[in-house]
Structure 1
């Protein structure tokens, strides 16, 4: 693969890939650039999310003329296609050829798990949007900080809300048959059942399944809800077929973090009105950083930002705060940069205030959202806020980490019905 400045500009967007463009000559002469590797997905079922990842980062860099904390920035973007093996190859290129100082990404849980060892070996500060639980739990990586949420972090919240607020007793879970889906459903099950509910059926379509008909035909309908935990555009595809099979209005759908994402919400049509989902973000959040971000996304890309766009916009804000802490002289000090990334509290991100636990995972607000129509467009309105949510829910790290990592088989499915 040829990776030169022209390819970087093409990949990340004009004016973002090479920070020297439009930069004051004095600044160019005095400060060498801080090199960011950016890992996204532009092909396959995760592409809709990967495109928003790029858009969110583009906007943040554009707003600051490619200068963070007074330091010029170069961004080198790569497309992994969501494949762990490709992510490993791209990571090697970023580290060896482009000599990056920091990585933003990757997108998917399986990519993050594949990169774990190389991140450790190369000591590359990584500001991740991937949700792989154990990267900040039993196998906590000292060079890894997550600004979004673990796969299960928001699902804990939905499990609590479904049992306590909605008074649901019986649920079905369905998710992509990958680590991200396993961990989301497990988090929901853990809290929902601890609060008195029962998960009576669990279904696992492959990530790239062409049709959900076989799985929808299996869905139990004598339940209070279906918790759907899909990635990329799969949530939209499942929702469309769920309605085509006549289940709309018969069984309530609850969405995981990315099931009913804003990036696809307008395509879902008015049938989506009333859908409930859980996320660390909503484009409807009323704070200055988010208002500015949403306005820019609508202006530049004609879309509302969702999970993925907010992920990189938040990642860049957290990185900028860390660079302010270490300053130009400390930007090559990897240990100092990681300490700043993990210990700073950043108050003014688009998702609200964020801090980090000792494992490198974000502590922040999580929102229950309801699809409504405002001003002719569908939005995820916030109907309840859970503040300062930890990846460990209310169990505490020591008790939580004594258990196996969430998976297809943990927590054990004790209430399944034939």
Structure 2
């Protein structure tokens, strides 16, 4: 089955919007009456396909406030990263030290996010707003007072998936294959915690490097005596794995990490149908039947921008809208080391198109989580069907490494 563009639902916000054509470019020096926001986005590397979706979410948010707060123009300075901590740190320092940004918005990937969260402690006068980086330790280990994440971490997004796999689908034994970095560690850890507690067993695990092109040896090494495979891959890696799963005849049902069957993957042109059908997954994006006035409005905004709801557009918008809501609340006042702005962000609550958002003591969001299954849309493409919605999902305190057996999550 060839995948067609999937029409997923979207998410609307509270303050946003820039130019449909692209981001505002920065003047050569700090101008009076401007707020400068540095923007890190992994437009290079395995998540290059998702990066433009974050920009779309940001642009929608900026456009809603005409890129202006209390008469001050918001100026965006974008720097490209490649999902590695090294380049993210280099570009962040450039934006802060040379370009003198007031706020840093980003990054995309988990390892980048951990590095930027640690860096934020060295720049207490700058406020850091995470976009989609979702490694747990960015906020639950020695959290920085000027680093904010307005969405869940990867472990939160797996909440309930393990229980459904064991109790509803009857999967007793599962093998894991996932990218070898912090986001999949947390994502797989969240799944395994629920699955193992319910009575399931993790019998084997493989951790290929991020950016792997050939998964044939890993697919061949997957145990034959398991009920399902947990696949914690995303972006180009997910597409490559799913294509090769079809090519090599992998017949075991899949349990997806949060980005295995995201809209950006399901909307690819790759022949992945035989692998993804009936896959279950959890994450911050609702199934295709989800409808609220707020969500439907955001979905229309995304459609006008040529896309649909996916993890990058949704989190890009929610993060940007939260960032801008704080600026609106303080009328753009960033004096006194941005104290008033950060106080607003720390207690921010609003009803996002995907449900209520509030913040915990570590400045990480308490959010809604959606568990769904991939089904055929009857037109040669894919749709998603709701299995469960969980509200008020809070972050845990555990930081996961590689999960090879159930012992690793106890």
Q: What do the CA deviations read for 1:281-337 (whole angstroms, capped 9, x no partner)?
A: 137332333323322323323x32311111110011111221233223356742222
When structure 1 is superposed on structure 2, of 114-123 and 254-263 the one drifting more is: 114-123
- Superposed displacement of residue 350, structure 1: 3.3
Match of 1:368 among 329, 346, 371: 371
Query: Unpaired segments of 5 or more residues in structure 2?
Result: 1-18
Q: What do the CA deviations read for 1:100-155 (whole angstroms, capped 9, x no partner)?
A: 22121111111122223321111222221211211211221211111232121112
Q: For residues 227-242 of structure 1, what are the structure 2 equivalents within 5 Å?
A: 227-242=230-245
- Superposed displacement of residue 219, structure 1: 0.9
Match of 1:293 among 298, 316, 328: 298
Q: Equivalent residue for 1:102?
A: 103
Match of 2:338 among 329, 334, 338: 334
In structure 1, the residue corresponding to 2:264 is in which secondary structure? helix
Give the distance between the partners of 1:132 and 1:276, measured in 2 at CA: 21
Q: Equivalent residue for 2:283?
A: 279
| Pair 1:246-2:249 in alignment | yes
Give the distance between the partners of 1:34 and 1:354, measured in 2 at CA: 25
- Superposed displacement of residue 69, structure 1: 6.8
How has the CA–CA distance of structure 1 residues 407 and 66 changed in structure 2, closer, same or farther, with 3 Å as cutoff? same
Q: Equivalent residue for 1:172?
A: 175
Give the distance between the partners of 2:142 and 2:404, measured in 1 at CA: 17
Give the distance between the partners of 2:335 and 2:36, measured in 1 at CA: 10
Q: Equivalent residue for 1:67?
A: 68
Give the distance between the partners of 1:414 and 1:137, measured in 2 at CA: 18
Q: What do the CA deviations read for 1:398-418 (whole angstroms, capped 9, x no partner)?
A: xxx4x6x21016876479xxx
Give the distance between the partners of 1:406 and 1:414, measured in 2 at CA: 8
Give the distance between the partners of 1:289 and 1:238, measured in 2 at CA: 35
Give the distance between the partners of 1:97 and 1:358, measured in 2 at CA: 32
Give the distance between the partners of 1:332 and 1:306, measured in 2 at CA: 37
Indicate if the aligned counterparts of 1:283 and 1:306 stay in contact, CA closer than 8 A.
Answer: no
How has the CA–CA distance of structure 1 residues 222 and 314 changed in structure 2, closer, same or farther, with 3 Å as cutoff? same
When structure 1 is superposed on structure 2, of 275-284 and 122-131 the one drifting more is: 275-284
Match of 1:406 among 392, 400, 404: 400
- Superposed displacement of residue 45, structure 1: 0.9
Q: CA RMSD in A?
A: 2.7
Q: Equivalent residue for 1:25?
A: none
| Pair 1:215-2:198 in alignment | no
Give the distance between the partners of 1:18 and 1:331, measured in 2 at CA: 24
Give the distance between the partners of 1:178 and 1:15, measured in 2 at CA: 31
- Superposed displacement of residue 71, structure 1: 4.6
More helix by share: 1
Give the distance between the partners of 2:154 and 2:95, measured in 1 at CA: 26
Indicate if the aligned counterparts of 1:346 and 1:354 stay in contact, CA closer than 8 A.
Answer: yes
- Superposed displacement of residue 176, structure 1: 0.3
Indicate if the aligned counterparts of 1:262 and 1:283 stay in contact, CA closer than 8 A.
Answer: no
- Superposed displacement of residue 274, structure 1: 2.7
Indicate if the aligned counterparts of 2:81 and 2:91 stay in contact, CA closer than 8 A.
Answer: yes
Tell me how many residue pairs correspond in the alignment: 382
Match of 1:307 among 311, 316, 319: 311
- Superposed displacement of residue 189, structure 1: 1.5
Q: Equivalent residue for 1:343?
A: 347
Give the distance between the partners of 1:89 and 1:320, measured in 2 at CA: 25
Match of 1:381 among 382, 385, 392: 385
Length-normalised TM-score, structure 1: 0.84
How has the CA–CA distance of structure 1 residues 191 and 32 changed in structure 2, closer, same or farther, with 3 Å as cutoff? same
Q: Equivalent residue for 2:9?
A: none
